[in-house]
Structure 1
Amino acid sequence: MQRFRLEPLEDNLFRGLSEANGQSSIFGGLVAGQALLAASMTVPEDRPVHSLHAYFLRPGDIRQPVVYDVDRIRDGKSFTTRRVNAIQHGRPIFSLSTSFQVEEEGSRHQTPMPDVPAPEDLESDESARLRVADRIPEQFRAAFLRERPVEFRPVTPRDVFAPESREPLKQFWFRVPDPIEADRMTHKALLTYCSDFGFMGTAMQPHGMTFWQSNVQCASLDHAMWFYDDLRVDDWLLYHCESPGAAGARGLTFGAIYRRDGTLVASVAQEGLMRLRPGEDPV
């Protein structure tokens, strides 16, 4: 993917292209993935990323590229730490801290992958969207029907224009449909990008809220990931998402991402803004 080829500008400075995702600002997952990739470009290849913690600070301008300023905080014997600020118009829009570790063997356990239908047995999100095209309000139509770089197959589809209240649990398969010839670090940066798609919507489900309601204001506030194993984003991955709670117009969601063979490859956590504007028409 072109958006994951960063341009080196100077020592510790990199530039990435912007992208809209049917929104007026840059998709947060893109900035997170690019920031992780920028950090990795200052780290030896034999130290894969094992965690990241980030805050979304300001909306990104889709008309301008993003500059990534990498701070080489520490290079230890086993761990390497980097801090990255994503900058537009002279101000940080995103801040990330990430850690890399020399590969080593150790004890291992994981929560088993949930028993869900295979992706081939589920309808694609794109097909479902086309089926309801005539019901899409005019103000949402272009964004709702735009082609997406990631393919999704939800285990339990939801009608986003007539959302019922349901438990804060979401499961879906996802992949980038086109083959990606890239190193494992780029695949992990792309996983970071993918991990932000629809994730915080899990916390909105008990309240009958969706991103497509005009009286709902949503935004990712922070994002954290832990990586356990190699993966390919051009092969099917299962995203299991659960929200333990919401309060103060914020919802928290935890996620687990599995390879098709049942191996847990990453854990995710995110808190997002889910503000309901009183008195406004939900459509």
Structure 2
Amino acid sequence: MSTHATLIKPPKSLPHHSPIENVLQLLPLVDIGPDIYTNARPLWHPPGARGIFGGAAIAQCLSAAQATIPIDFTVHSMHCYFVLAGNSEIPILYHVERVRDGKSFITRTVQARQRGKCIFTTTLSFMKEGSGGAQTVHHAVRMPSDVTPPPPVTRTRAFDDDRPFESLRCSVANRGSPSERQLRQWVRAVGRISECPPNVREEELVSGRRAHRPGDNHQAHLSALAYMSDSYFIGTVARVHNLNRFANRRNIENTLRAFKGSDTEREQMRKYLEEIAREEDEEREEMGKTEDDGRRVGMMVSLDHTIYFHNPRAFRADEWMLTEMESPWAGDGRGLVVQRIWNKDGILIATCTQEGVVRLKQQESKL
């Protein structure tokens, strides 16, 4: 990752902020125009990926939009499209458009741009707290009861210190056909998310132009959840089909050969890929697959991403949350994945969907 991939010199990390708050921090570009922001720090480019981690664009677009709304409005849905691969060597500009400000709902669109081109776009809807009325219909999918609780650990991967969240994979559920298999993991942000609002709003808070309730930093937890929602998402299609990407040693070596970072960064990447390979081998054994059918992933990239926030103030992103992913359909070089996220108390806090390109390497014709 480049150390010069920001438009403005990165500010010092605040000691009372968690790693994910520092990673997602935005800076307003008031000299360029209203409602324009940029990433304060370089963004992560996952090994083997075509561009930056998609969760970063999702979360920072949400943070930028949240900076333009009253504190008593909360996001309930966002619909995103990945347009171009983000370049980790170039700063991103986030342009917020104030589409509508209503009494109960507020609408925003955000475009993430690099070199004048849109690389990511999203439309978000915010709802005023309590506007649904005193009496409402209510139901929710229950959290699975057959999942082993996570141990009280601080980090699951000691070698991956730069990642602002940690995850713990669970056993595969419903090991039938690919459309029936369910992949689960526990996730949480590293450290403790602070109680103060994001830095992007500090000037407005000091000047009194924005109201803030002490101890209310739910927006940081929502941005953190958005960031983590893209973890292993479209890869679910390959995983339910046992299409291993890195369990093959040749794939790891090819990825490392193309890497341009330092020797230390290359060694960290090797350990990261080897950890993924180990998990792929474990899933292969769990699903009872012992033979290699020769299929290989040729291309896998996200096309869109949707998040419905059900209980946006009923969780902490720095406490364990359970995610469950399944793929109801794949075909024509694409795949669809549905993800549900519960807090530690079993409250359904979000439902996400993602469609992506999932193409296999085509075998050469012998004719």
Give secondary structure in 2 for the equivalent of 1:71. strand
Equivalent in the alignment of 2:304: 222
Give the distance between the partners of 2:138 and 2:244, measured in 1 at CA.
Answer: 37
Equivalent in the alignment of 2:227: 193
The alpha-carbon deviation at position 168 of structure 1 amounts to 3.4
Equivalent in the alignment of 1:209: 243
Instruction: Specify the code of the residue in structure 1 equivalent to 2:338.
Output: F
Asked if structure 2 preserves the Cα contact closer than 8 Å seen for 1:254 and 1:267, the reply is yes
Q: Which residues of structure 2 form unaligned runs of 5+?
A: 1-20, 196-216, 252-295
Equivalent in the alignment of 1:9: 29
Identity of aligned residues (%): 36
Asked if structure 2 preserves the Cα contact closer than 8 Å seen for 1:168 and 1:202, the reply is no
Q: Which residues of structure 1 form unaligned runs of 5+?
A: 131-144, 158-164
The alpha-carbon deviation at position 147 of structure 1 amounts to 5.1
Give secondary structure in 2 for the equivalent of 1:192. helix
Name the Cα RMSD after superposition: 2.5
Given the alignment, which residue of 52, 58, 67 partners 2:84?
58
Are 2:78 and 1:48 equivalent residues in the alignment? Answer: no
Task: Describe how 1:85-100 pairs up with structure 2 within 5 A.
Answer: 85-100=111-126
Equivalent in the alignment of 1:142: none
Give the distance between the partners of 2:35 and 2:152, measured in 1 at CA.
Answer: 46
Give the distance between the partners of 1:263 and 1:190, measured in 2 at CA.
Answer: 17
Give the distance between the partners of 1:271 and 1:226, measured in 2 at CA.
Answer: 15
Tell me which structure has the larger Cα radius of gyration. Answer: 2
Give the distance between the partners of 1:5 and 1:152, measured in 2 at CA.
Answer: 22
Farther-moved stretch of structure 1 (15-24 vs 248-257): 15-24
Given the alignment, which residue of 215, 220, 233 partners 2:317?
233
Give the distance between the partners of 1:265 and 1:224, measured in 2 at CA.
Answer: 14
| Post-superposition CA distance 1:102-147 (Å, at most 9, x none) | 012433210110111101199x8638xx8xxxxxxxxxxxxxx675
Asked if structure 2 preserves the Cα contact closer than 8 Å seen for 1:201 and 1:210, the reply is no
Farther-moved stretch of structure 1 (10-19 vs 221-230): 10-19
The alpha-carbon deviation at position 201 of structure 1 amounts to 2.0
Give the distance between the partners of 1:121 and 1:245, measured in 2 at CA.
Answer: 36
Asked if structure 2 preserves the Cα contact closer than 8 Å seen for 1:249 and 1:275, the reply is yes
Give the number of the structure whose residues are more often strand, by fraction.
1
Task: Describe how 1:168-183 pairs up with structure 2 within 5 A.
Answer: 168-182=181-195, 183=217
Give secondary structure in 2 for the equivalent of 1:174. strand
The alpha-carbon deviation at position 180 of structure 1 amounts to 1.4
Give secondary structure in 2 for the equivalent of 1:34. helix
Asked if structure 2 preserves the Cα contact closer than 8 Å seen for 1:250 and 1:272, the reply is yes
